[in-house]
Amino acid sequence: MTSSPSASATTALTGDQIRQKFLDFYAAKGHTILPSASLIPEDPTVLLTIAGMLPFKPIFLGQEAPKVPRATTAQKCLRTNDIENVGRTARHHTFFEMLGNFSFGDYFKAEAIAWAWELMTKVYGLPPDRLLVSVFENDDEAYEIWHRQVGLPKERIQRMGEESNFWTAGPTGPCGPCSEIYYDFHPEEGLDTVDLEDDRRFIELYNLVFMEWNQDDQGRRTPLKAKNIDTGMGLERMAQVLQGVPNNYETDLIFPIIEAAAQRAGIQYRKANASTKTSLKVIGDHTRAVVHLIADGVTASNVGRGYVLRRLIRRIVRHSRLLGMNELVTPALAQVAIDLAANVYPNVRERQAVILSELQREEEQFLKTLDRGEKLLAEMLAPLKTAKGKKRSKPQLAGRDAFVLFDTYGFPLELTQEIAAEQGIGVDVAEFEACMAEQRQRSQAAHETIDITVQEGIDSLADQLHPTQFRGYDEFSLTTTVTAILVAGHPVTTATAGTEVQVILEETPFYAESGGQIGDRGYLATSDALVQIHDVQKQKELFVHYGKVERGSLSVGDRVSAQIDLSCRRRVQAHHTATHLLQAALKRLIDENISQAGSLVAFDRLRFDFNCPRALTREELQQIEDQINTWISESHPTHTSIMALNEAKAKGAIAMFGEKYGEQVRVLDIPGVSMELCGGTHVHNTAEIGLFKIISESGVAAGIRRIEAIAGPAVRDYLQQRDSIVRELCDRFKAKPEEVLDRVSQLQADLKAQQKELEHLKAELALAKTQALLEQAEAVSNTHLLIASLAGVDPQGLKTAAEWLLNKLGSGAVVLATQPAADKVNLLVAASQDVVQRGVHAGQLVAELAQVCGGRGGGRPNFAQAGGSQPEKLPAALELAHSRLKGILES
C-alpha cells in the first residue's frame, strides 16, 4: 500500500491529536463532550461495549430522555468475534476507539453530512479527490446533499444495498440508512470500476447513520417522530491514513507496544517475516485490550467477561513464547500501554497497580500449565503430522484429546486450535463441546445468575476461611455460623433487609451446584433475620449461598438456622436418580458403549447428553421409558458408599469422562441396575421417583444426542397440563378424547381439498386473465410487444403467464407486473430468441424497471424477474419498459 499523499502535511498529527481535533470540532458545533463509558456496559443484553452508540441505545430506543440534544464522544470498544483476524489483516482489532457525534432529535442529514465533509477535508486535510462516499440505494436525499450541497461528483457517490448501508437496532425498533466515507489509497486506478469493498484500495473511515424509521415485528417501517444521528469514526483507521503507515498497528496508538515486545524478543520489526509480525501485532492489540478491561474492573475467570480477559492474556503469552520470550512479559508491555493511554483515560493510571498485579498473577498461573500442555499436545499432533501427507482430507485432533488438555492442564481450546492450525491440523470441536457440555452448562448458569465481581472477593476469602463442611446428604436443616458475607462482590460485616447477598457458612445442608445438579433453595434464619436462598455455588471449596435479606439484618458470626426447601430437594433427587436409570437403560437397550456427555438435573426436568451416531426411534424411546418405569415400580433400594477410586472402578462403577476424582470417591449403587461415581443427592428407593416420562430426543452435535425428561412430581404437573389441553380440544370439537385425533385428521383432509380447489380456481382465473391479454399485444417491427399488469397472481403464476403468452406470440417481448402486497411489486421480462438477437436483454431491463420501483433484480437475456417496494411507481416503470423496448426494436 502506498502512503497517503497528505502524509507530509499530516504526519504531525498523533493519535491523541486526531481524537482531540474530532471532539473539539464537534464541541464548536454545539455538541457536549461526554466521557467514554466503561467497557462493562449497563446494557444487560451485551457482554462488553462493542460500539460507540451503545451507551446511547436507551435514548435511541425511546426508553430514556436525552440529557443533551447533541453529544460527541471517544468511546472505548472491545470485540472478539473477529479475534482470528487480529494481526493478520490491516485493520481488525479487539480493542479500538470509536469517535462519534450524536443528535437526539436535533439536527439531521444535511448538517451531519456537511460537518463530516468539513472535518475530513478542512480539519484533517484529506484531499477531496481521495474521498468517495456510499449512500443507501434508495436514499435520494443523502445522494442529493452529497452531490448538490457538498459538491461531490456523481462518480464519487456509490449507491449500496441494505446489507451494507442500512442500520437496524434489531428485528424491531429504530433504523435508518447509512452513508459512509471512504479513503482511496490508489486513485491512479481511476473510477471506471469502483468496488468500495476492495480493502486493498479503499478504507471506510466514517459511517453516518440516519435513524429516521421505526420497524415493527412485521418488517413495516414508519417515520420516527424524532430523527437521530449516530456516527462512528475508527480512530485507528484515521491514524493509519493521516500518519501514512501501511496498517493500523504501525500507528503511534499501538506501535510503541509492538516495538517494546520486539525489543524484548531481540527482533527488528521492519526486518521480521510475516508470521513474526503477526505475533507482534497480536501482542500489541491484546495488550491494549487487557489493560483497559482490567482498568474497568474485569478480573480473569472462566466466566463471561473474565473469560474474555483470560483468553486475551493467554494469547499474549502464547505469541510471546513463539517469539522466544519465556520470561514474564505482560506487566512490562502493559506499562507501555498504560503510559500511552493515561493522559486520555486516567483510570488506567489509577488502577496501574491492580492491572500489573492481575497480569502477573494470570501469566504465572498460565505458565505453570503451559509447558506440560504444549509437550502433551506436541505428542498428540505428531502422528497426525505424519499422516497428513498420506490423506486427502485435513487431519483432525480428537475433541476428547483437546478436552483432556483443557480439563487437566488448563489449556484453552482456542490455543489448541491455534497451535494445531500452525501445523495444518484441525480440531474436532463438536466432540470437544460434547465433553464440555456439563461444564459449559454450569458456566452459563453461573453467568446468568451470579455477579462476576463476586470472584475477586471469594478469591481473597478462600485463603482466610476453612472449606465449608457439607452435611446435606443426611441433614436438611442445621444450626451453623456465618463466616462471611459479600455484597456486590465485596466482603461486609452486616447486610440489612432488601440487600442481595452471598453468604458463606461454617457448615451447610445446601447442595452446591455440581455434577449437573443445580444448587438447593431454602432460607437462613435468626431470631430477627430471614434470608431467602435461591442458589448455591461452590468456589474454591467454599459454598456460596446466593440470596436476599428479606427482613432484619445478618452479620458475620451470627448463628443461623439453615433450612433447605425439601420439596425442591425431593424433585431434584428424583430427577438425578432417574438420570442414572436413563443411562443404564440406554446401555442395556441401545448400545453398551453409550456414555454420558453432559447433563442437567433441575427441579422441573432433567437433560441427558450421550454419544450415539443416530437418532433413536419412537419405539426405542418407548422401550427406554417402559424399562425405567419398571425399575421404579420394582422398588430398588439405592446405596451410597465411600471407597477408593481403584476399588470403585474394579467393581464396575461408571465414571464421567474427563471428570477429575480424588483418591476417595462416592459411589451410588442401585443393585442389579446401575453403579456410578456421583456426588449428588438421590432417592433412597426407586419407588420414590413415582413416574418417568421422556419429553424429547434430539441431536446437539455430531455424534451427540440429547434426551429431555421429567420424573416424580414434575410428571404430575406435565400430565395436568396435557389433560387441560385435551379437555379444551374436546370442548371445541364437541368430541370425546378418543375422537379428537379423527376430527383433526378430517379437518386436515378438508383443508387440503379446499386448498387444491382454490389452487385450481386460481389457475383457471390466471389463465383467463392471460388469454385476455393477447388482445393487448402491439405489433412493432415484425414482432410483438406486450406490456401489462396482472392482479392477484404470484411470481410463479407470473412466470407461467409469460411463458404461455410468448409461446402464443411466437416472436416478441413480454413485460408483466403484479402487486402481491400493499408495499410490494413483482416484475418479469421475457423475450423470444430473435428479439434477444436484436438487442433486448431481459436481465438488464428488469433491473432498470426494479430500480424505478425501489428494488433490484436481474437474470438471463431471455428471462428475468425482479421485485420492488414502491408499487405506486409501477405505471412509470411499465411506461419506461414500453419506450425502451420500442426504441430497441425500431432501431
Tens of pLDDT, residues 470-506: 999 999 999 999 999 998 778 888 999 999 999 999 9
Specify the higher pLDDT residue, 375 or 146: 146
What's the grid cell of residue 224? 420516527
Distances 372 to 325, 398, 401 between C-alpha atoms, Å = 17, 18, 14
Residue 816 binned pLDDT confidence (cut-offs 50, 70, 90): very high
**How high does pLDDT run on average in the chain?**
88
Q: Kindly state the average pLDDT of the residues 621-637.
A: 96
**Does the pLDDT of residue 431 top 90, yes or no?**
no
H/E run at residue 750: helix 740-773
For residue 859, the model assigns a pLDDT of: 81
Q: Which helix (H) or strand (E) holds 816?
A: strand 812-821
Question: What is the band of 3 on the pLDDT scale with cuts at 50, 70, 90?
Answer: very low
Per-residue pLDDT, averaged over 106-113, amounts to 96
Taking Cα atoms as reference points, which of 854, 856, 768, 848 lies closest to residue 815? 848
Phi, psi of 104 (to 5 degrees): -110, 80
Q: Considering the chain, what percentage of its residues have pLDDT values greater than 70?
A: 93
Question: Coil, strand or helix: which one is 249?
Answer: helix
- SS3 state of residue 747: helix
278, 247 Cβ separation under 8 angstroms:
no
Helix count (H) and strand count (E) of the chain?
26, 35
The lowest-confidence range among 256-270, 436-450, 621-635 is 436-450
Q: Is the pLDDT of residue 448 over 50?
A: no
In this prediction, residue 450 carries a pLDDT of: 30
In this prediction, residue 407 has a pLDDT band, given cuts at 50, 70 and 90, of low
pLDDT tens-place string over residues 311-339: 899 889 989 988 989 889 999 999 999 99
Task: Taking residues 660-678, report their average pLDDT.
Answer: 87
Q: Tell me the one-letter amino acid at 70.
A: R
Instruction: Output the CA–CA distances (angstroms, integers) from residue 483 to 113, 515, 550, 564, in the order listed.
Output: 62, 26, 19, 19
Task: Return the residue matching grid coordinates 412485521.
Answer: 218
At residue 381, does pLDDT exceed 90?
A: no
pLDDT score of 828: 94
Task: Give how far the C-alpha of residue 540 lies from the chain's centroid of Cα atoms, to the nearest Å.
Answer: 30
- The larger pLDDT score, comparing residue 129 to residue 45, is at 129
* pLDDT band at residue 571 under the 50/70/90 scheme: very high
pLDDT surpassing 60 at residue 6: no
**Mean pLDDT confidence for 525-554:** 93
Pairing of strands 490-492, 783-789: unpaired
Give the chain's largest Cα–Cα span.
104
**Contact between 672 and 683 (Cβ < 8 Å):** no
For CA atoms 11, 16, 22, 24, the dihedral sign is negative
More confident residue, 374 or 143: 143
Q: What is the pLDDT of residues 576-621, one digit of tens each?
A: 999 999 999 999 999 887 878 788 999 999 999 988 878 999 999 9
pLDDT at residue 686, as a whole number:
96
Q: pLDDT tens digit string along 353-372?
A: 889 988 998 898 888 777 77
Q: Mean of the pLDDT values across residues 655-680?
A: 82
Residue 701 has what pLDDT?
62
List Cβ neighbours of 744 (8 Å cut-off, separation of 6 or more). none
Residue 443 has pLDDT above 50, yes or no: no
One-letter amino acid of 848: E
pLDDT score for 1: 43
Note the pLDDT tens digit of each residue in 236-293: 999 999 999 999 999 999 999 999 999 999 999 999 999 899 999 999 999 999 999 9
pLDDT at 45: 67
Cell numbers at residue 651, please?
467393581
| Gap between the Cα atoms of 4 and 797, Å rounded | 56
Average pLDDT, integer, range 302-306: 79
Q: What is the mean pLDDT of residues 655-659?
A: 57
pLDDT at 439 over 60: no
Q: pLDDT, tens digit, for every residue of 160-206?
A: 998 889 988 667 778 899 999 999 999 999 998 889 988 889 999 99
Average pLDDT over residues 872-878: 93
How far apart are alpha carbons 530 and 524 in whole angstroms? 6
pLDDT tens track for 80-103: 887 878 988 888 899 999 999 999
**All three cell numbers of 725:** 389441553
- For residue 550, pLDDT beyond 80: yes
- pLDDT score at 421: 86
Question: Which distant-in-sequence residues (6+ apart) come within 8 Å of 874 by Cβ?
Answer: 789, 817, 819, 825, 853, 868
CA 578, CA 352: separation in Å to the nearest integer?
A: 52
Contacts of residue 479, defined as CB under 8 A and 6 or more positions apart, other chains included, come to 559, 560, 561, 562
Taking CA 246 as the corner, what is the angle to CA 244 and CA 250, rounded to the nearest 5 degrees? 85
- Return the percentage of the chain with pLDDT > 90, whole number: 56
- pLDDT greater at residue 856 or residue 751: 751
Instruction: Give the pLDDT band of residue 559 (cuts 50, 70, 90).
Output: very high
**pLDDT score for 760:** 76
Indicate if the pLDDT at residue 449 is higher than 80.
no
**pLDDT at residue 463, as a whole number:** 66
**Amino acid symbol at 739:** E
